[in-house]
A = this chain, B = another copy of it.
Amino acid sequence: MPEAASVQATIGDSEFDRDTAVTRRSPGVYDVDLSAGWTIIGAVNGGYLLAVLGRALAEALPHGDPFTISAHYLTASQPGPAVVRTDVVRTGRTLSTGQASLFQYDPEGREVERIRVLASYGDLDALPDDVRTTAKPPAIPPIEECFGPQDAPGPVPGGSAIADRLFLKLDPATLGWALGAPSGKGEMRSWFGLADGRDPDPFSLLLAVDALPPTAFEMGLEGWVPTVELTVHVRCRPAPGPLRVAISTRNLAGGFLEEDAEVWDSADRLVAQSRQLARARLTN
């Protein structure tokens, strides 16, 4: 799908898979190495971090697919070594629940907790096919009418290492902020994929929900919008091909806003829903 990919990477053999890999140190404890490749202006992307934690829980639990995963972001993660400690809360026939924390190390080598998550896992392939969804896929123009960081004439404001790893093509209707004319609406829509052509899976969905520019930009705000809490529901294993991500914000108040994301696959299935609470800087 992305034009640049000469040899298409596959699920299990791609940069995303290597950079979210977890290595078992002892039962339930996993060493990881946070890659600098998924940073936004130096900060490690919250969706990438959630995918790392999600993979650790998939190892620790008897079920392999995140159905619902909630993360509270405590301190800012840095590229480099980290450890994920997991706890099996309950195992059931169709759902298992686990907890995980990601720690890094302070200058004295002490563990500092970065993120804590609580999640319930199941088997997406075991779900019945019944669909009664009333939601419609987002109205987003064809890929060739959308724009990504590589289409910009110069360096993009907020340009980042992660941009090289993502295939993002934003709906021009939500790109006013990049031209200095934000629409004032809390909406952001984009085509989404991995730059090396790896197809989506439940773990890359955890990345997809937090990879677009913040809706706050289209509401005329600037600067960082740090996530306090992010919950993702994975509803269906995504079909191969590009995803469409639509994010909306209805309530910006008291210095906080929510971002609701919907992710649709190439088969027009609503494959993930997420909501996050983030802090906003109400400076202008």
Residues of A within 8 A of B (CB): 67-68, 70, 72, 74-75, 89-90, 95, 97, 99, 113, 116-120, 124, 127-135, 185-186, 219, 228-229, 231, 233, 235-236, 249-256, 258, 269-270, 273, 275, 277, 282
Q: Are A127 and B254 in contact (CB under 8 A)?
A: yes
The listed residue (B75, B133, B185, B252) touching A252 by CB distance below 8 A is B133
Determine the distance from Cα of A135 to Cα of B187 in the docked complex, in whole angstroms. Answer: 13
Can you identify 15 A-B contacts, CB atoms within 8 angstroms? A70-B231, A74-B89, A89-B116, A99-B99, A116-B118, A117-B118, A128-B282, A130-B254, A130-B255, A133-B251, A135-B250, A229-B233, A233-B258, A251-B273, A253-B269
**Residues in B whose Cβ lies below 8 Å from that of A131:** 252-254
Which residues on B sit within 8 Å (CB–CB) of A277?
A: 67-68, 233
| Distance A165 CA – B195 CA, assembled complex (angstroms) | 55
Chain B residue nearest in CB terms to A90: B74
List the B residue with the shortest CB-CB distance to A186: B134
A174 to chain B, nearest CB (A): 14
Cβ–Cβ < 8 Å partners of A127 in chain B: 253-256
- The answer to whether A70 touches B67 (Cβ under 8 A) is no
In the bound complex, how far is the Cα of B99 from the Cα of A43, in angstroms? 25
Count this chain's copies in the assembly.
Answer: 2
Q: In the complex, are the beta carbons of A132 and B229 less than 8 A apart?
A: no
Chain B residues closer than 8 Å to A128, beta-carbon distance: 254-255, 282
CB distance from A225 to the nearest CB of B (A): 14
Closest approach, in angstroms, between the C-beta of A175 and any C-beta of chain B?
A: 19
Contact B134 A116 (CB under 8 A): no
B253 close to A72 (CB less than 8 A): no
The chain B residue sitting closest to A252, CB to CB, is: B132
Given contacts A97-B74, A186-B134, contact A254 B229 (CB under 8 A): no
Nearest-neighbour CB distance to chain B for A124, whole angstroms, equals: 8
Chain B residues near A117 (CB, 8 Å)? 118
Min distance, Cβ A202 to any Cβ of chain B, angstroms: 13
Cross-chain contact B116 with A97 (CB below 8 angstroms): yes
CB distance from A64 to the nearest CB of B (A): 16
**Minimum distance in angstroms from A246 CB to a CB of chain B:** 12
